[in-house]
Amino acid sequence: MGHLGENGLNCELGNGVSMCGNEESFEKESNSSSIQYAVKVLLMGLGEDINREGIRKTPLRVAKALSEGTRGYTQGVKEIVEDALFPEACVGNSEVGDAGGEVDGLVIVRNLDFYSYCESCMLPFYFKCHVGYVPSGQRVLGLSKLSRVTNVFAKQLQEPQRLADQVCSALQEGIQPKGVAVVLQCKHLPFPDMESNTLQSHHKGVQGILVSAGSGAFQNKDALIWDDFLGLLNSRGVDKDQIHDKGSLDQCWCPSLSSSKVSVKNEEINPLMVTAVASILKSLGEDPTRKELQGTPGRYTKWLMNFQCSSIEKKLKGLVWSGTNGASSDNNTLHSELNLPFLSQCEHHLLPFHGVVHIGYFTSPGFEIEKSLLQTIVHFFGVKLQVQERLTKQIAETVSSLIGENVVVVVEASHTCMMSRGIEKFGSNTATIAALGRFSTDLAARAMFLKSIPSAESL
């Protein structure tokens, strides 16, 4: 591990100061440079050249994203809810006669989208939040505050049940209503199974869990008021019977805790990387010795090692295609292989992106490439630090080298960096296309292929 020698790192740190451009203001934050240092250790541990232009600023971007993504540690709930309670005592009094004058009805804000970070593996996870409360003291809360309070706890390292409990307690304490109910629909990224090259089965279902928390009138899970709350969520796809019971979460939530999904062996883990991740946790304001976090640096390092820099030629060497080269004149049948799943890691933010690859090529009938070979190519180019544009081109060129030049590749992907940080565009989805040979000029052929791509559901 010569890369990780002290000289190299110190030298790079010295350069770090000049790296910031328009992101200078962030540099002032005290913990940023130590996170950047740790990220450099990780990149070098992956075998990357930390001076390569694409990842030169990755340490800065990761530090910024992590600090933003865990800003909840320094935020308070009290400041959010104070001044946001409005009196509704006059309801029913002034205009249509007095029928009690108290807003005693349940208020539910549904379908709030968030990202949080999994405390077990440090990957971002998505959740949809439904939160309700029964007002008391003739006071109602500004609706946006339910979202703002949830975000304080979302922006921490979390696991679903604790997140629900914390949001619930904070609202109960902050606004003192008759009761608070919280339901979270959480989705975790799957971990790749590196033993087999085909990721199909692991990509189809994103790891999901439904948790709830209640206080006051909602404290008892069997309280009848839960029926009102869930009755109004029912139409939104929330099934009461699927709500997870407290206690037995760890086994089924984060894939990093399920040993069968972890292909990188303990002896392959570089202890310098593990130490670097632990130092990041500390810089974010967490206690790395907290029980739930003790294994996190190791698990995150294992995840990262799936994307270590390696020779693709070596990986691809074993692959053979039994067909003939497709340059002969009768190669005029368009063949499409659609929805090949992939998982990759964005080199700009060290965050996963994943989706499907569609490959089209001309060949003679009977000379199609085996689907498993295409899936292997897709897999190999996915499991390293990547950008989607390069991934698309590399797959096209590799397939072209097997079958001849007439190849078109479309990649459709969800980028967690577009959702879990900064712009937080939850439904966004990126499509890229690389067209080689005949596909680069023959628009009718390209259109025919594009039409064959099914309408994908975004995650």
Restricting to residues 105-124, which ones interact with a second copy according to CB under 8 A?
105-113
Q: Residue 23 or 368: which CB sits closer to a second copy?
A: 23
Q: How far is the CB of 137 from a second copy (least distance, A)?
A: 13
Which candidate, 286, 296, 304, places its Cα nearest to that of 67? Answer: 286
Least distance to a second copy, CB of residue 145, Å: 9
- Beta strand segments in 155-312, E: 157-158, 179-188, 207-216
**Ramachandran angles phi, psi of 439, nearest 5°:** -70, -20
- As measured in angstroms, the least distance from the Cβ of 329 to a second copy is 22
Q: C-beta of 172: minimal distance to a second copy in Å?
A: 19
- What is d(CA 284, CA 62) in angstroms, rounded to the nearest whole number? 12
The amino acid present at 440, given as its one-letter code, is S
- Provide the minimum distance between the beta carbon of 262 and a second copy in the complex, in angstroms, as a whole number: 27
Please name the residue that has the structure tokens 């897709």. Answer: 378
Binding to a second copy in span 431-450, by CB under 8 A = 431-436, 443, 446-447, 450
Choices 165-173, 174-182, 251-259, 394-402; region in contact with a second copy by CB under 8 A:
394-402
In the list 64, 410, 420, 445, the residue contacting a second copy (rule: CB under 8 A) is 410
Give the residue with the Cβ less far from a second copy, 132 or 255: 132
Q: Report 353-382 residues binding a second copy (CB under 8 A).
A: none
Question: Which amino acid is residue 297, in one-letter code?
Answer: P
Q: Which of 158, 150, 175 is nearest to 75 (CA)?
A: 150
Using CB under 8 A as the binding rule, the residues of this chain from 16 to 45 that contact a second copy are 21-23
Interaction residues for a second copy, span 286-305 (CB under 8 A): none
Residues within window 131-150 making contact with a second copy, judged by CB under 8 A: 135, 140, 142-144, 147-148
Which pair of structure tokens corresponds to residue 412? 């459709």
Cα–Cα dist 306/385, whole Å: 10
CB 159 within 8 A of CB 296: no
Rounded CA separation 336/447 (Å):
12
Sheet holding 351-363, edge to edge: 385-386, 333-346, 351-363, 407-415
Count interface residues toward a second copy (CB under 8 A).
90
**At residue 245, what is the residue type?**
D
Using CB under 8 A as the binding rule, whether residue 425 contacts a second copy is answered as yes
Binding mask 160-199 for a second copy (x = CB under 8 A): ----------------------------------------
4 binds a second copy (CB under 8 A): no
Look up residue 156 and give its DSSP letter. Answer: S
Please report, as a single letter, which amino acid is at residue 373: L
Say if residues 103 and 90 touch (Cβ distance below 8 Å): no
* Non-local CB neighbours of 17 within 8 Å, separated by 6+ positions: 27
- Among the residue ranges 93-101, 173-181, 195-203, 263-271, the one whose residues contact a second copy (CB under 8 A): 93-101
Provide, rounded to whole angstroms, the least separation between the CB of residue 193 and a second copy: 24
Of the pair 122, 131, the CB lying nearest a second copy is at: 131
**The one-letter amino acid at 215:** S
Q: Would you count residue 99 as binding a second copy (CB under 8 A)?
A: yes
State the first-to-last Cα distance of the chain, in angstroms, to the nearest integer. 38
Per-residue interface string for the shown chain with a second copy, residues 199-238, x marking contact by CB under 8 A? -------------------------x--xx--xx-xxx--
Site for a second copy (CB under 8 A): which residue of 388, 406, 416, 420? 388
Torsional sign, CA 404, 409, 415, 417: positive
Between 258 and 308, CB nearer to a second copy: 308
Binding positions for a second copy, 233-262, rule CB under 8 A:
234-236
- Rounded to a whole number, what is the largest CA-CA distance in the chain? 87
Beta bridge partners of 409: 359, 434
Min CB(409)–a second copy separation in Å: 8
Mutual orientation of helices 58-69 and 32-45 as an angle, nearest 10°? 120
We find the least distance from the C-beta atom of residue 260 to a second copy, in angstroms, to be 31
Q: Which residues 312-341 are close enough to bind a second copy by CB under 8 A?
A: 312-313, 316
